[in-house]
Amino acid sequence: MQIGISILHHDHDYIERRGGHAFFSHLRGAPDRTRYREEALQRGERLYDDAVAAGGTPEEICGAGLIVLQRAALAVDEFLTAPQAKTEPVGEAVAA
């Protein structure tokens, strides 16, 4: 597996002036992470809707609701790592 970043200019300080490598890497991966979180949240919502429609037990309905809340919280947590990636020194930022 190879990972690389290609930049079409010769100003090597460009990334540092724009927030650093950790922040840049975090932003480049945002579309894939966003799509993954959105799909997971939609699956959780369907699970909850199915449990309600099937007349599930209160435990099943509440459990499905908690899954939706957990997945929403993970999406918010993912969003909040962007400022951390901007402020953390290289190598210490959260990698997703």
Number of helices (H), then strands (E), belonging to the chain: the values are: 4, 0
- The DSSP H or E segment spanning 91 is none
Rg (CA), the chain: 19
Residue 69, domain extent: 31-96
Say what the pTM is.
0.61
pLDDT at site 87 = 63
Residue 3 lies in a domain: no
Tell me how many domains the chain contains: 1
How far apart are alpha carbons 96 and 94 in whole angstroms? 6
Per-residue pLDDT at 96: 46
Q: What is the pLDDT of residues 37-82, one digit of tens each?
A: 899 999 999 999 999 999 999 999 999 999 999 999 988 888 787 6
In a domain, 8, yes or no: no
Does residue 86 sit within a domain?
Answer: yes
30: its two tokens: 């945002």
In-domain check, residue 90: yes
Q: Is residue 14 part of a domain?
A: no
Residue 63 belongs to some domain of the structure = yes
The dihedrals phi and psi of 9, each to the nearest 5 degrees, come to -150, 175
Per-residue pLDDT band for 88 (boundaries 50, 70, 90) equals low
pLDDT tens-digit readout, 3-46: 666 666 666 677 777 777 777 777 788 888 889 989 999 999 99
Residue 15 lies in a domain: no
In a domain, 22, yes or no: no
